[in-house]
């Protein structure tokens, strides 16, 4: 159960176009959506979880959101089509591995110029909604305003809630100062940020179901907590650049269980261009040919541009790359350097052994390739994710050795979503 797992990244979700009056120190803040805009939010959360007063686990959680504005109405509202993903490394698991690509959530909603959502009850993401809500008038450093918001938690697995569990709050906003810094999009470009502080507390008693005495499932009855956030706006670019947060959420259930989530988070927002285009496909195919890369194919899909390394060679029954394959990965790394989006490394095996052994081997081999790409400096570990499919997604018949060789592959996807 993760109550703050995704919260950190969603409060800054889709912050476009912050603009100001040129003849005044006051700044007029509004979301401004542009049809076709793409952006990504990446958040890292360090969280401690206690259950009934005892330490349950400590985790590093990485949340990723990719989104596209597909429509802007006459009132300036933007329609967002977004994919949310979260992955976790806990102290009780292999924290030295790469980040496994976790469960995806799709969400569709409108957001107006002040930041207020219109979203159906079937969507569980984003968790933090109506934050930030921008003031109706222009503001300057020192100004304070308040606005209502709510958190919407996914309790389907823990408490059998079929709709988001909504916890309301009133947030207090303070425009702290202007500050010079380096942007998330360009690690060398200096920018002047507008620094905003957001604070809210949670104190919510859940309404009791009419049939409470007939229920056998547990459910939350009270939620307490707080969130303290600092947001760095890029006024020139017109979006949030990055943000930090410290938080605590305490939840008590009908059966008397207590859950306590405490942690800190950091998030960055970056724009990106989609890579799965005919132009990029042609360019990458040409580079594959020029580098004489054998058993390598390139395809494009909704998820991104995928470079598939077939018949990839490891030491027998292991995930240790042979030196010849390292040289191949080095060449592919040179191609990928031109496309800065996040990477997904997917492992596949031929049909040999049990489904469980195939699955484990595919995960280990994806992890091996991902670690080598991180070692080469293609991306840092927070921008590379792995996934194993075992032998479940063959691209050729397993009845022949040639078919098995094609199925024994690693796919490197430059992510568009």
Spatial separation of the C-alpha atoms in residues 11 and 131, rounded to whole Å: 5
Residue 303 DSSP label: S
* Per-residue pLDDT tens over the stretch 225-242: 999 999 998 877 778 899
What is the pLDDT at residue 116? 95
**Cis omega (within 30 of 0) for bond into 198:** no
Instruction: Report the distance separating Cα 48 and Cα 226, nearest Å.
Output: 15
Between CA 260 and CA 225 the distance in angstroms is 9
- Work out whether strand 220-234 and strand 239-253 pair parallel, antiparallel, or are unpaired: antiparallel
Is the CATH code 3.30.1330.60 the one for domain 278-415?
Answer: yes
Domain boundaries, given as residue ranges, for the chain: 7-271, 278-415
Q: State pLDDT tens for residues 100-127.
A: 998 899 999 999 999 999 999 999 999 9
What's the whole-model pTM score? Answer: 0.84
> What is the full DSSP assignment across 336-392?
HTT--S-EEEEEE--S-S-HHHHHHHHHHHHHHHHHHHHHTTSS-GGGEEEEE-TTS
CA distance 167 to 202: 7
SS3 at position 330 = helix
Task: Give the pLDDT score at 276.
Answer: 94
Q: Beta strand 99-100 with 409-415: parallel, antiparallel or unpaired?
A: unpaired
Residues forming beta bridges with residue 193, ordered by sequence position: 179, 234
| Beta-bridge partner residues of 5 | none
d(CA 131, CA 205): 22
Q: How many CB atoms lie within 10 A of CB 383?
A: 18
Strand partners, 180: 192
DSSP β-bridge partners for residue 170? 148
The ranges of the chain with pLDDT < 70 are 1-24, 90-97, 160, 187, 209-216
Are the beta carbons of 383 and 42 closer than 8 angstroms? yes
């Amino acid at each position: 159960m993760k109550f703050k797992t995704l919260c950190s990244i969603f409060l800054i979700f889709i912050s476009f176009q912050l603009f100001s009056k040129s003849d005044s120190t006051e700044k007029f803040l509004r979301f401004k959506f542009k049809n076709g805009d793409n952006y990504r939010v990446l958040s890292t959360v360090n969280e401690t979880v206690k259950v009934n007063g005892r330490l349950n686990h400590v985790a590093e959680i990485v949340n990723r959101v990719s989104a596209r504005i597909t429509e802007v109405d006459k009132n300036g509202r933007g329609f967002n089509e977004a994919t949310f993903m979260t992955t976790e490394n806990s102290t009780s698991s292999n924290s030295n591995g790469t980040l496994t690509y976790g469960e995806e959530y799709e969400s569709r909603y409108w957001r107006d110029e002040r930041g207020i959502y219109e979203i159906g009850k079937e969507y569980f993401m984003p968790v933090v909604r109506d934050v930030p809500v921008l003031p109706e008038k222009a503001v300057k450093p020192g100004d304070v305003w308040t606005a209502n918001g709510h958190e919407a938690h996914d309790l389907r697995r823990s408490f059998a809630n079929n709709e988001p569990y909504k916890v309301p709050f009133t947030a207090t906003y303070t425009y702290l100062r202007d500050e010079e810094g380096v942007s998330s999009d360009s690690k060398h470009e200096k920018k002047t940020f507008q620094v905003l502080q957001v604070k809210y507390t949670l104190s919510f008693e859940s309404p009791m179901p009419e049939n409470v005495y007939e229920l056998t499932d547990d459910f939350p009855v009270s939620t307490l907590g707080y969130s303290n956030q600092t947001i760095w706006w890029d006024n020139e670019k017109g979006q949030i650049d990055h943000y930090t947060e410290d938080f605590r959420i305490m939840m008590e259930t009908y059966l008397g269980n207590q859950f306590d989530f405490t942690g800190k988070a950091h998030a960055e927002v970056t724009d990106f261009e989609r890579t799965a285009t005919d132009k990029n496909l042609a360019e990458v195919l040409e580079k594959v040919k020029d580098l004489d890369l054998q058993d390598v194919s390139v395809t494009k899909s909704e998820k991104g541009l995928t470079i598939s390394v077939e018949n990839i060679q490891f030491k027998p029954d292991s995930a240790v790359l042979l030196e010849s394959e390292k040289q191949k990965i080095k060449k592919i790394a040179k191609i990928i350097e031109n496309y800065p989006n996040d990477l997904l490394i997917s492992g596949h095996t031929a049909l040999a052994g049990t489904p469980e052994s195939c699955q484990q081997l595919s995960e280990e081999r994806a992890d091996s390739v991902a670690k080598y790409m991180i070692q080469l400096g293609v991306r840092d570990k927070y921008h590379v994710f792995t996934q194993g499919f075992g032998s479940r997604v063959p691209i050729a018949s397993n009845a022949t050795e040639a078919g098995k060789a094609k199925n024994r592959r690693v796919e490197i996807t430059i992510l568009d979503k």
